[in-house]
Structure 1
Amino acid sequence: MTGSEESPSFRLAYVPGVTPAKWVKVWNDRLPDIPLTLVQVPAAEAPELLRAGEADAGLVRLPVDRTFFSAIPLYTETTVVIVPKDHLITAVDEVTLADLADEVLFHPLDDVLDWDSPPGQPAFERPATTPDAIELVAANVGLLVVPQSLARLYHRRDLTYRPVVDAPRSGVALSWPEEATTDLVEDFIGIVRGRTVNSTRGRTPAKTEAEQQRKRPEQAGARQKKQAPAKSAGGKPVGRTGRGRAGSGGGKAPAKRGKPRRRS
């Protein structure tokens, strides 16, 4: 390595609500010499970050531009409504959008849910961010519908949430520019898919492949030798029942037949 070459590293972007810790731990155990740097980015800005090459891959919210990005869907989140703890909704285990029709619902500018049309009554303004909207919910001004991970991320003691069974749901995926599918990206794909370090779908050193190719003919030759039939002194194969016929004294001699007697 020359002095001008940089040491390999991997930059992983992730959006609010996504927790990459379990995959980062596997990376550090498996590739301790290659540092992984986490880059937190708002969901709306993640695509441009990846396009600009400021991260090698990202844990992002779907949908993504499939003409430019590759994506592996990982999971889909439950959608919930955040309410004050003394709200009537807390009396039930789950709600529908129809139950929220008369409620003021905030629709922040960074909303990640793909609404055909936002439910509920429109708020007097659109908050800039989800945290801003949660502050307004705490002030008893309205309610907020978000993926469950965001409700947990911005948890407050005076607020709680309930699932909204028929609301749009947000999917999370591993995504990266298709033309920038590097070996390190492949390594991280293997980790999120749960492959072991010795998985045949992972990257295999060329030397190991060559060794496997050399071993195959040798193993085939050994099997052929083991399965080859034994031959007699005359060069003819001897079957399992052929010992008595080919050897001397190995079996009983066939009985001789005499001439048939005449009948009187």
Structure 2
Amino acid sequence: MTGSDVSPSFRLAYVPGVTPTKWVRIWNERLPGVPLTLLATPAGEASDVLRDRGADAGLVRLPVDRTVLSAIPLYTETTVVVIPKDHVVAAVDEVSLEDLADETVLHPLDDTLVWEQLPGEPAFERPETTADAVELVAAGIGVLVVPQSLARLHHRKDLTYRPVTDAPESQVALSWPEDETTDLVEEFIGIVRGRTVNSSRGRTAPPPQPKAARTDRSGAARQKPAAGKNPRSGGAKGGAKGGTKPGPKGAAKGGPKGGAKRGKPRRRP
């Protein structure tokens, strides 16, 4: 099988917490002949997967290496603190980082937030993953600050979460290799940006079709008058040259039909 015989397909990587379901559904409706394959990818490995062409595009968390990857920010997530339901913080609607100053704040190795300074008291050991950190929260070892989608992903009945007003936020973006902006990548960009199916963005628009000439009742093509000319000008019987209004019906140029030219009356001999 040659390269030209290979059926087109699209590989989409996505990181934990991101839900591509809606966009995949639209893709399948618009391009039923091009299968889309989803690749669940750890957040820390997403950029490498795209650089190595392991996927055509990816739903990732910023930042990414913009020297080799293009990215379109899609949305920003609320940051929350995951706590046991009986924790004192569960009694309020939201907290600040200062409110967590005396808490043991877990910092997993796959943390997706960019911190200038970690809040609270550090744990004795960093959990390997966010999932491991959630288990430690349930065990009463500490609390965890994450994007809200990750708190929902690892939801437990004995845990809850509250927004942290001044914590770093996580931006989700669509990213792809900068030198591989293919037609299928353009199609997916259009989908995540909400373009309609008839949008010509990224496609070659069809050439405009010439309008058919209007015809009269006899089927003959009707011609437009030359520019600057009045089609009624000079067309009426007895009408004056230059498009002025015609005289009364039956009137000839200069006077009544068959009448003598006006002038001085003649004397009889």
TM-score, shorter chain, exceeding 0.5 = yes
Residue by residue over 1:59-88, the C-alpha shift from the partner in whole angstroms, topping out at 9 and shown as x without a partner, is 000011111111110000000000000000
What pairs up with 1:37-52 in 2 under 5 angstroms?
37-52=37-52
What displacement does 1:16 show?
0.2
Higher helix share: 1
Match of 1:232 in 2: 234
Match of 1:215 in 2: 210
Match of 2:153 in 1: 153
Match of 1:104 in 2: 104
Q: State the distance in 2 between where 1:227 and 1:80 align.
A: 73
**Match of 1:225, SS?**
coil
Match of 1:71 in 2: 71
Confirm or deny: 8 A CA contact 2:58 2:174 kept in the other structure.
Answer: yes
Instruction: Give the gaps of 5 or more residues in structure 2.
Output: 215-220, 256-269
Q: State the distance in 2 between where 1:227 and 1:92 align.
A: 80
Residue by residue over 1:187-220, the C-alpha shift from the partner in whole angstroms, topping out at 9 and shown as x without a partner, is 0000001011111314246xx23xx1x527989x
Residue by residue over 1:28-49, the C-alpha shift from the partner in whole angstroms, topping out at 9 and shown as x without a partner, is 0000000000000000000010
Confirm or deny: 8 A CA contact 2:79 2:146 kept in the other structure.
Answer: yes
Q: State the distance in 2 between where 1:28 and 1:132 align.
A: 35
Residue by residue over 1:198-257, the C-alpha shift from the partner in whole angstroms, topping out at 9 and shown as x without a partner, is 11314246xx23xx1x527989xx9x938953132499663xxx33459766xxx9xxxx
Amino acid of the structure 1 residue aligned with 2:224: K
Confirm or deny: 8 A CA contact 2:103 2:143 kept in the other structure.
Answer: yes
What displacement does 1:103 show?
0.3
Match of 2:179 in 1: 179
**Match of 1:180, SS?**
coil
Match of 2:263 in 1: none
Confirm or deny: 8 A CA contact 1:187 1:203 kept in the other structure.
Answer: no
Instruction: Give the gaps of 5 or more residues in structure 1.
Output: 254-264
Amino acid of the structure 1 residue aligned with 2:140: N
Q: State the distance in 2 between where 1:201 and 1:46 align.
A: 27
What displacement does 1:117 show?
1.3
Q: State the distance in 1 between where 2:225 and 2:165 align.
A: 65
Match of 2:217 in 1: none
**Match of 1:48, SS?**
helix
**Match of 1:146, SS?**
strand
User: Which moved further from structure 2: 166-175 or 4-13?
Assistant: 4-13
**TM-score, with structure 1 as normaliser:** 0.83
Q: State the distance in 2 between where 1:10 and 1:89 align.
A: 44
Amino acid of the structure 2 residue aligned with 1:63: P
Q: State the distance in 2 between where 1:174 and 1:218 align.
A: 48
Q: State the distance in 2 between where 1:52 and 1:184 align.
A: 18
What displacement does 1:6 show?
1.1
Q: Percent identity?
A: 67
Match of 1:243 in 2: 245
**Match of 1:145, SS?**
strand
Amino acid of the structure 2 residue aligned with 1:243: K
Amino acid of the structure 1 residue aligned with 2:133: A
Q: State the distance in 2 between where 1:23 and 1:167 align.
A: 29
**Match of 1:134, SS?**
helix
Q: State the distance in 1 between where 2:109 and 2:195 align.
A: 38
Amino acid of the structure 1 residue aligned with 2:145: V
Match of 1:85 in 2: 85
